Amino acid sequence: MKSDNNWYGHRSIFSRYVGLKDKPSFSTIQHGYLNKFYLEKKISTPKLKFIPYLCWNEEVKKRLNKIGYNNTFIVGAPFIYLSKILKKNKNKKLKKKLIFFPPHNTVDHFVQDLNYEKLITKIKTKYKVKNFTVCLYYADFKNQNIKNILKKNKIKFKSLVSRNDKNSLIKLYKELDSSTHVLTCDISSVLFYSMFLKKKVGVLVKNNSESYLTTKVKNDEKFIFYYRKKFPKLFNGFLDPSLSYKIACKNLGLNHLKSKKQLIEILGWNSSIKKLISKILIFYYDKKYDKQFRLGKKV
């Protein structure tokens, strides 16, 4: 298992789905989308090979198997289990609402330096919208300069997720569900979540060869332009929801969802021995990394 198993509340979604109290699990849980170029170049696996890795889709499992980590189960993304818990109303009519997710810093990695003035102008011009909401990652939400620019331009903004908030995914789900259009600057979890909810989605890039990812994340940038070749409409407007839903189902592992009984077994929650080992490992990780790190409050 890993110390970050419940960042953003992913493990708690599983516990809620199966009807059990949230507790340490005998597993390592994937808690973010992993693209093909990242998987080809770099992926960290648990050092303890007897701990199962719970991934979202076939692509991740194949890569893990290829590098010798065979104790892998495809369970699908926690977001899909959450959709079953919340039972989205598919028939409700929504007023047009666009939400924008810019590239972000993390609490331990401050490298993004976006020109929000230019970004705002580009979004208004390209997508012909006067009003939209910017969803800032919680590390950027602390940046007063960013907030001042958005306020000056009369742009609404909010922050929905953080590592230490177990309700993060629920808040994000509800915000996406209440929106009609979702705009991002990369191919990431939130894009696939929006696709799954059948929103009109788009990806914003600087030009034909540059993205807005100012970090040295070549694998992510390479994946953006790989997607641009496959789905040009995604970058020149908004992709058709029926097509994006199919894309999301594949990447989020809809066909691999487990039953409640299967999930309890895979997470080790039906075994006294596995629950004991999980508690021992939690104690170990808290000593090695600090309890605040495991809870997402410290890096």
For the stretch 123-174, pLDDT in tens is 999 999 989 999 998 878 888 999 999 999 999 999 998 878 889 999 999 9
* pLDDT band, residue 299 (cuts 50/70/90): very low
pTM, two decimals, is 0.91
Neighbours of 234 (CB within 10 A): 23
User: 3-state DSSP call for residue 81?
Assistant: helix
Indicate the residue type of 281: L
Q: Residue 3: is its pLDDT beyond 70?
A: no
The overall average pLDDT reported for the chain is: 87
pLDDT number for residue 289: 65
* pLDDT band, residue 91 (cuts 50/70/90): low
Mean per-residue pLDDT for 256-284?
93
Q: Which two tokens stand for residue 258?
A: 């487990």
* pLDDT band, residue 110 (cuts 50/70/90): very low
Q: Which two tokens stand for residue 136?
A: 């800032």
Neighbours of 258 (CB within 10 A): 20
Indicate the residue type of 79: F
For the stretch 203-237, pLDDT in tens is 999 888 888 876 657 788 889 999 999 999 999 99
Euclidean distance between the first and final Cα of the chain, in Å? Answer: 18
Residues 6+ apart with CB under 8 A from 35: 187, 219, 220, 223
User: In angstroms, rounded to a whole number, what is the distance separating the alpha carbons of residues 225 and 219?
Assistant: 10
* pLDDT band, residue 18 (cuts 50/70/90): very high
Asked if 7 and 287 touch (Cβ cutoff 8 Å), the reply is no
Residues 6+ apart with CB under 8 A from 198: 241, 242, 244, 245
Neighbours of 117 (CB within 10 A): 12
Token pair 């011009």: residue: 125
Phi, then psi, of 46 in degrees rounded to 5: -60, 140
With DSSP H G I counted as helix, E B as strand and the rest as coil, what are the percentages for the chain, rounded to 5? 45, 10, 45
Query: DSSP state, 56?
Result: S
* Higher per-residue confidence, 64 vs 4: 64
Q: What is the DSSP string of 189-252?
A: HHHHHHHHTT-EEEE--SSSS--S--SS-HHHHHHHHHHHHH-GGGGSS-B-HHHHHHHHHHHH
Structural domains in the chain plus CATH codes: 7-77+253-294 (no CATH), 86-250 (3.40.50)
User: 3-state DSSP call for residue 149?
Assistant: helix
Mean per-residue pLDDT for 41-54?
77
